[in-house]
Structure 1
């Protein structure tokens, strides 16, 4: 997971413009465009040279949450953090 955030910092955050960060909606659009258009389409050394999209499609263990799961309870953990000038946050010594 930490590697993914390093990739986001090195490939996406450095290219963001004021228009991309003007609203949460704009930032989410830019993030998903990058994830779908670049990240998921790029072969990864850690995935034996296949793309994340190919690896996900090959996996038998990918599953969606049970509709009866209480997702609000599963994601109950909340922590307030300060967003740094480079648009990262730290939690438990890790930078995201």
Structure 2
């Protein structure tokens, strides 16, 4: 299976609603590597890589996020694989 990487931003009510931690839990469940962090402008930034099907599954999950979130938009772009091991929540 091909390994792919996506990087991007999630906008909406995505801070203070458990979004980063829920993203990390979903990424780990899917066997993905990468990171997620809050930005000062209210968005969440995310980078994740792994098997193509799992990457697509997390991308679809980001469209809705955890139950308390209200996602307005997800902007993801494919980029070169980074070779990251594990998934972390950046503070």
Q: TM-score range by the shorter chain?
A: 0.3 to 0.5
Q: Decide which structure has greater helix share.
A: 1
Q: Decide which structure has greater strand share.
A: 2
Larger C-alpha radius of gyration, 1 or 2? Answer: 1
Higher RCO structure, 1 or 2 (CA under 8 Å, sep 6+): 2
The normalised TM-score by structure 1 is 0.31
